[in-house]
Amino acid sequence: MNASNLDFFRHIIRRSLRSIWENLYLNTVASGVIAASLLLLGVYVSTLLNLNSIVDTWNKDIHISAYFDSTLSEQDQLAMRDTIYAMPQTVEVRYVSQKEAYSWLTQRVEGIEDTLEELGENALPASLEITLQKEASTSVEIESFAESLRLQGFNELDYGVEWVEKFNAFLQLLQMLGILLGGLILVSATFLVTNTVHLVVYNRRHEMEIAKLVGASNSFIILPFLFEGIVQGLIGSLTAIAGLWIIHQTLAIRLQEAFLLDIVGKLHFLNTQQLLLLASIGVGLGFIAAFIASTRFLRKSP
Amino acid sequence: MIRLYNVSKRYGSIYALRDINLRVSKGEFCYITGPSGAGKTTLLKLLYGAIRPSEGKLLVGTHDVGKMKGKTLPLLRRNIGIVFQDFKLIPRRTVADNIALALEVLGTDRSTIRKRVSAVLSIVGLQGREDLYPQALSGGEQQRVAVARAIINDPSILLADEPTGNLDGVMAMEVMEILQAINLRGTTVLVATHDAALMQRFPYRKLSFRNARLESS
């Protein structure tokens, strides 16, 4: 870059900073619109990511309870456990004896001790708690695995995957809606910011007309606006990120108070890459809006 | 310096200028005169490329204005100084900043700009007014700032559209004296005016327009 180019860019930066200062209100409005749009987008993305993370945890918890026929000896039951453990779909198989089942129930359900005592320790069947591979945790896979268990002699099976799948489907719908909503938010924000920048351009049209008359190139006219747009986008993004952080912290504290749980650690904030992407969208938004508004002026100006 | 070959400018079927043939040599001082609507301002606009001829060929220096595109237009304008009746100064900029704009567009460094601004301000007799805002100056002084901005690039052509139209007699004479001085330094000067007294006081070649046609030159 030669000295003349350097001086040219110095003039551009100086003009941009002066324009930002002279049109402080409009620039604040533009940054505010970008911040509000990104905040909306950020809240939506954060909610989806956190819901996804919760569903992931639930997916890991999906297992099948297979109850043994009471006529089978414990030795046979253990042999069946080993057979099932050897199946490729299984990750973990836990044997729950009749005694363990009895003790579990008495601990969990109060007031049924007398009834259970009457029935005796063998009242509940022994069972296997089978955890499947993640890939085998879809409803189709689980259904086929359950069928193979029935063939091996298990009459009673208990597995609740459908509602998790329905929730997953609901999340996918939310994701699709999110893409649509995100697109709409960005288009509306571009429209709003473009119109705000257009007001800045309108405020300075007299100066730009004079600049053109004394031989200013198109880049001399447009570049200060693009720089302004980038600054607006950057300020808007940082404001949105700060807003997201405040919302995240407030929500975490409120949830902690409400459930007396250590939610702070469980509620995920956007990671660095996601934050950088959000900032890039903000900067891009400011840049595109400034480009549209300033080139619109150039097309009209002789 | 300026050559027009059968140049016409029309808006729809209405001619603003019709079949103009003209030659202005380097270093000449010319008046463009005629009643309102005769085509004076249209001719100036054609010369600085704000509008393009509908017919004919217009050469300014080496530039064929009719064929110029948006990107090359600044090159033409950097060689032409323009002065308007309403001064066209930026109210939020100081005198120095208003004048400096013509050098900033070229990427001139700030110390050179300061020196050149100071030099042109002494030519137009406004030394010491660098930091004032246009509204703090009289009409005549504002017009002199506009002239200073127009000549800071040492243009080979200076176009002035009714430069004394908003000024009283004394101020008008002062501005004309400055334009005359600029012309004496070798700049071609074209002044659009219908002020007969001015033309009598400073007699130069007259390009008289009437009904969109060049009546006499």
- For residue A256, the model assigns a pLDDT of 72
Residues A107-145: b if buried by 16+ CB within 10 A, e if exposed: eeeeeeeeeeeeeeeeebbbbbebbbeeebbbeeebeeb
What residue in B sits closest to A218 (Cα-Cα)?
A: B71
Using alpha carbons, list the distances in angstroms from residue B80 to A51, B86, B188: 66, 18, 9
Residues of B in contact with A298 (CB under 8 A): 70
Identify the H or E element spanning B156.
none
What residue in B sits closest to A14 (Cα-Cα)?
A: B104
- Whether the CB-CB separation of A161 and A137 falls below 8 Å is answered with yes
- For residue A59, the model assigns a pLDDT of 67
Residues of A in contact with B153 (CB under 8 A): 214-215
CA distance A206 to chain B (A): 7
What residue in B sits closest to A19 (Cα-Cα)?
A: B92
Q: Please state at what angle helix A24-61 crosses helix A3-22, rounded to 10 degrees.
A: 90
**CA–CA gap between residue B148 and residue B77 (Å, rounded):** 15
Q: Tell me whether B108 touches chain A (CB under 8 Å).
A: yes
Question: What is the DSSP secondary structure assignment for residue A69, as one 8-state letter?
Answer: P
**CA–CA gap between residue A260 and residue B104 (Å, rounded):** 64
At A215, is the pLDDT very low, low, confident or very high (cuts 50, 70, 90)?
A: very high
CA distance B121 to chain A (A): 17
CA distance B104 to chain A (A): 6
CA distance B76 to chain A (A): 7
- How much is the average pLDDT of B144-169? 91
Residues A209-245: b if buried by 16+ CB within 10 A, e if exposed: bbbbbbbbbbebbbbbbbbbbbbbbbbbbebbbebbe
Whether the pLDDT of residue A261 is over 60: the answer is no
- Whether the CB-CB separation of A225 and A275 falls below 8 Å is answered with no
Proportion of chain A in helix, strand, coil states, percent, rounded to 5: 75, 5, 15
Helices (H) and strands (E) in chain A, counts: 11, 4
**A213, B48: Cβ pair inside 8 Å?**
yes
**CA–CA gap between residue B13 and residue A185 (Å, rounded):** 48
**All structural domains of chain B:** 26-52+68-207 (3.40.50.300)
Whether the pLDDT of residue A1 is over 60: the answer is no
pLDDT in tens, A151-163: 887 878 887 666 6
Whether the pLDDT of residue A165 is over 90: the answer is no
- For residue A227, the model assigns a pLDDT of 93
Q: Choose among B137, B87, B95: nearest CA to B118.
A: B95
- Whether the CB-CB separation of B197 and B26 falls below 8 Å is answered with no
Contacts of A40 (CB under 8 A, 6+ apart): A185
pLDDT in tens, B47-64: 999 999 999 999 998 899
Biggest CA pair distance of chain B: 51
CA-based torsion, B105, B106, B109, B114: positive or negative: negative
Whether the pLDDT of residue B179 is over 90: the answer is yes
Establish, for the pair of chains A and B, how many residue pairs have beta carbons separated by less than 8 Å.
66
Residues of B in contact with A299 (CB under 8 A): none
**A211, B77: Cβ pair inside 8 Å?**
no
Whether the pLDDT of residue B71 is over 60: the answer is yes
Q: Choose among B16, B37, B25: nearest CA to B205.
A: B25
| Percentage of the residues of chain A whose pLDDT score is greater than 70 | 91
Q: Which residue has the tokens 């042999």?
A: A79
Tell me the two tokens of residue A15. 């003009």
User: Judged by CB atoms within 8 Å, which residues 150-169 of B form the interface with A?
Assistant: 153
Q: Which residue has the tokens 């204005």?
A: B65
Which of A214, A218, A298 lies at the smallest CB-CB distance from B101?
A214
CA distance B159 to chain A (A): 11
**CA–CA gap between residue A141 and residue A60 (Å, rounded):** 15
**CA–CA gap between residue B134 and residue B81 (Å, rounded):** 19
**All structural domains of chain A:** 3-58+165-300 (no CATH), 63-159 (3.30.70.3040)
Whether the pLDDT of residue A21 is over 60: the answer is yes
**B101, A4: Cβ pair inside 8 Å?**
no
What residue in A sits closest to B106 (Cα-Cα)?
A: A8
Is the ipTM value over 0.90, yes or no? no
Residues of B in contact with A302 (CB under 8 A): 45, 49-51
Which of A11, A210, A218 lies at the smallest CB-CB distance from B90?
A210
Query: What residues form DSSP beta bridges with B159?
Result: B82, B190
**A7, B108: Cβ pair inside 8 Å?**
yes
Which of B51, B74, B149 lies at the smallest CB-CB distance from A216?
B74
At B111, is the pLDDT very low, low, confident or very high (cuts 50, 70, 90)?
A: very high
Beta-strand runs (E) in B25-178: 29-33, 55-60, 63-64, 80-84, 157-161
- For residue A3, the model assigns a pLDDT of 63
Question: Beta-carbon neighbour count of residue B88 at 10 Å?
Answer: 19
**A22, B92: Cβ pair inside 8 Å?**
yes
Range name among A44-48, A120-124, A172-176, B106-110 with the lowest pLDDT average: A120-124
Whether the pLDDT of residue A284 is over 70: the answer is yes
- Whether the CB-CB separation of A270 and A278 falls below 8 Å is answered with yes
- For residue B24, the model assigns a pLDDT of 95
- How much is the average pLDDT of A174-181? 82
Range name among A12-26, A35-49, A149-163, B120-134 with the lowest pLDDT average: A149-163
Tell me the two tokens of residue A173. 């719908």
If you write DSSP's letter for every residue of A171-215 in order, what string do you get? HHHHHHHHHHHHHHHHHHHHHHHHHHHHHHHHHTHHHHHHHHHTT
At A76, is the pLDDT very low, low, confident or very high (cuts 50, 70, 90)?
A: confident
**CA–CA gap between residue A12 and residue A219 (Å, rounded):** 9
**CA–CA gap between residue B3 and residue A132 (Å, rounded):** 90
What's at B17, amino acid-wise? L
Angle at A223 between CA A220 and CA A228, to 5 degrees: 135
Which of B48, B49, B74 lies at the smallest CB-CB distance from A217?
B74
Q: How far is CA A280 from the centre of its chain?
A: 17
CA distance B101 to chain A (A): 7
At A98, is the pLDDT very low, low, confident or very high (cuts 50, 70, 90)?
A: confident
